[in-house]
Amino acid sequence: MGQVDLNFKPTVPVFDANVALGRRNDKRVRVDTVGGTLEAMDQAGIDRALVYSHHAFLWDAQDGNELLADMIQGERRLVPQYVCNPGFEDLRHFARQVAKEGVRSLRVSPIFHQYPFENWMLKQWLDWMTSEDLPVWIPVSYEAKGQKINMDPAPIHNTIKEHPRLKVVLSDVDYQNANWTLQLLRSLPNVHIDISKCIGIDGIVKLINGIGEERIIFGSRFPASPMAPQLYHLYRCGLSDTSLRSICSGNLDRILRRR
Amino acid sequence: MDAAGVDRACINCIFFGDHRICNDRVARFVSEYPDRFIGAAFVTPHYPEEAIQELERAFDVLQMKFLKLYAPYFYLPIDDPAYMPIFEWANDRGVVIMSHCSFDLEGGDTLTAPWRFDDLAERFSNIQWVLAHSGFSPAGEVRAIQVARAHPNIFLETATSRDAHGTIEHLVEGVGEDRVLYGSDMPIFDARQQVGRIVTSQISEEAKRKILGLNAIKLLGLET
Q: How far does B207 lie from chain A, in Å, by closest CA? A: 10
Residues of chain B contacting A6 with CB distance shorter than 8 Å:
199, 205, 208-209
Q: Given this model, what pLDDT does residue B78 score?
A: 96
Backbone angles phi, psi at B181, to 5 degrees: -120, 130
Cβ of B165 and A226 within 8 Å? yes
Domain-wise residue ranges, chain B: 9-219
Q: How far does B196 lie from chain A, in Å, by closest CA? A: 4
Considering only CB atoms, B161 lies closest to which of A43, A175, A236, namely A175
Q: Lowest mean pLDDT: which of A25-34, A179-188, A240-249, B116-125?
A: A25-34
Considering only CB atoms, A199 lies closest to which of B138, B189, B201, namely B189
Q: Given this model, what pLDDT does residue B109 score?
A: 60
Phi-psi region of B161 (alpha: psi -120 to 50; beta: other; left: phi over 0): alpha
Considering only CB atoms, A226 lies closest to which of B191, B197, B213, namely B197
Q: Given this model, what pLDDT does residue A188 score?
A: 98
Name the helix (H) or strand (E) containing A217.
strand A216-217
Q: What is the DSSP string of chain B?
A: -TTTT---EEE-----SSHHHHHHHHHHHHHH-TTTEEEEE---TT-HHHHHHHHHIIIIIS---EEEE-HHHHTS-TTSGGGHHHHHHHHHHT-EEEEEEE-BTTTBS-TT-TTHHHHHHHHTTTSEEEEEEEESSHHHHHHHHHHHHH-TTEEEE---S-PPTTHHHHHHHHH-GGGEE----TTTB-HHHHHHHHHTSSS-HHHHHIIIIIHHHHHHT---
Range 189-228 of A in CB contact (< 8 A) with B: 197, 199-204, 222-228
The CA–CA distances, whole Å, from A43 to A40, A195, A220 equal 5, 20, 14
Q: How confident is the model at residue A118 (pLDDT cuts 50, 70, 90)?
A: very high
Q: Given this model, what pLDDT does residue B105 score?
A: 65
Residues of chain A contacting B206 with CB distance shorter than 8 Å:
none
Residues of chain B contacting A201 with CB distance shorter than 8 Å:
186-191
Q: Given this model, what pLDDT does residue A143 score?
A: 79
Across the A/B interface, how many CB contacts are shorter than 8 Å?
Answer: 118
Q: Given this model, what pLDDT does residue A48 score?
A: 98
Q: How far does A152 lie from chain B, in Å, by closest CA? A: 20
Residue A35, pLDDT above cutoff 60: yes
Q: How confident is the model at residue A41 (pLDDT cuts 50, 70, 90)?
A: very high
Considering only CB atoms, B199 lies closest to which of A8, A31, A143, namely A8
List the strands of the sheet with B154-157, edge to edge.
Answer: B9-11, B37-41, B66-69, B96-102, B128-135, B154-157, B180-181
Residue A210, pLDDT above cutoff 80: yes
Name the helix (H) or strand (E) containing A53.
strand A48-53
Q: Which residue of A has its CA nearest to B187?
A: A201
Residue A1, pLDDT above cutoff 70: no
Region A39-51: mean pLDDT is 98
In CATH, what number does B9-219 get? Answer: 3.20.20.140
Q: Given this model, what pLDDT does residue A256 score?
A: 97
pLDDT tens across A157-166, in order? 999 999 999 9
pLDDT tens across A71-102, in order? 999 899 999 999 999 998 999 999 999 999 99
The CA–CA distances, whole Å, from B110 to B77, B103, B136 equal 8, 6, 12
Enter the ipTM: 0.76
Q: How far does B215 lie from chain A, in Å, by closest CA? A: 12
Residue A145, pLDDT above cutoff 80: no
Considering only CB atoms, B193 lies closest to which of A31, A44, A229, namely A229
Cα–Cα distance for residue pair B192/B183, rounded to 1 Å: 11
Region A215-228: mean pLDDT is 96
Cα–Cα distance for residue pair B82/B48, rounded to 1 Å: 7
Cβ of A200 and B137 within 8 Å? no
Mean pLDDT, consecutive 10-residue stretches, chain B (224 aa), reads: 96 92 96 97 93 97 97 91 97 97 73 95 98 91 96 97 91 98 95 96 97 98 88
Q: Lowest mean pLDDT: which of A5-19, A138-152, B175-189?
A: A138-152
Residue A246, pLDDT above cutoff 90: yes
Query: What is chain A's Cα-based Rg?
Result: 17
Q: How far does B29 lie from chain A, in Å, by closest CA? A: 19
Q: How far does A90 lie from chain B, in Å, by closest CA? A: 34
Residues of chain B contacting A5 with CB distance shorter than 8 Å:
199
Interface of B with A (CB under 8 A): 3-7, 104-107, 137-139, 161-168, 186-197, 199-202, 205, 208-209, 212-213
Residue A10, pLDDT above cutoff 60: yes
Q: How confident is the model at residue A146 (pLDDT cuts 50, 70, 90)?
A: low
Class of residue A41 by CB neighbours under 10 A (exposed 0-12, middle 13-18, buried 19+):
buried
Q: How confident is the model at residue A115 (pLDDT cuts 50, 70, 90)?
A: very high
Considering only CB atoms, A232 lies closest to which of B189, B192, B208, namely B192
Residues of chain A contacting B201 with CB distance shorter than 8 Å:
226
Region A241-246: mean pLDDT is 98
